[in-house]
Structure 1
């Protein structure tokens, strides 16, 4: 692929495949937020931790729905900005979820090793994804000039 072909692809609008992917993200986030939000709203006797988890899941779902909607409305090339934003959403969701798991472990006085491994792996994946997204964006911006 020549540099001119790469630059032409960088300037192109989102493909149908990418648009359908963002539509799926929007619908999945909205569906998840509606499901957890409805459960949260219709069950008044939920324990505090469960209500907090539903609130977190609703917020994360709305975040992904907002991201999908934002990406669908962009007419200009994104230069991997969408990947950086998605990586930040994932890292923020992990931080909030990890804090919730840590708070739950603190109230129970124990932290199962399996749960610690899961939280650590998810956190590492979110951090690596953020680094890769930033590098990809920087590479595309260098190509653009």
Structure 2
């Protein structure tokens, strides 16, 4: 039997996964700085927009600000961790990314649906006007032919 001291569960876990590797620290600081810079940029743009903005625009600016703040908070939280995270950081990052992607997709779909409806309305009106123009031209050509021209 050896006289080696036994390791506790916490010591074993720390040996398996250090608190944060240098690359994870870089990623955490990148998320923190990018989120903070994005928040400042979006808020500055929002506050300097001239005139009253529609509600949808305020909603878009608020959503962008919230996502930038979420990334900044995530980066700050991650960079202060001193214990193994058991991939919790990746789960949180995944949820932030999924929420941003879903909201963006819904907003783009809503705008695209509105644009599609408007485009279809333009096509319908154009088709009706083109049909009327053809009918008028046909009438005028018949009248010309009947008058001997």
Normalization by structure 1: what TM-score? 0.64
8 Å CA contact 2:36–2:72 kept in 1: the answer is yes
Aligned to 1:100: 107
Larger radius of gyration: 2
8 Å CA contact 2:13–2:84 kept in 1: the answer is no
Aligned to 2:122: none
Q: Out of 24, 29, 46, which is 2:30 matched to?
A: 24
Aligned to 1:41: 47
Q: Which range is displaced more, 15-24 or 74-83?
A: 15-24
CA deviation string 1:63-84 (max 9, x = no partner):
1001101111111101111011
Normalization by structure 2: what TM-score? 0.62
3-state DSSP of counterpart to 2:78 = helix
> Which 5+ residue runs of structure 2 have no aligned equivalent?
1-11, 118-149
Give the 3 Å change call, closer, same or farther, for CA 66–7 of structure 1 in structure 2.
closer
Structure 2: how far apart are the matches of 1:57 and 1:26?
A: 15
Q: Which is richer in helix?
A: 1
Give the count of matched residue pairs.
Answer: 107
Structure 2: how far apart are the matches of 1:8 and 1:52?
A: 46
CA deviation string 1:57-105 (max 9, x = no partner):
1111111001101111111101111011100100000111111112212
- 1:84-123 pair list within 5 angstroms: 84-110=91-117
3-state DSSP of counterpart to 1:77 = coil
Aligned to 2:67: 60
Aligned to 1:124: none
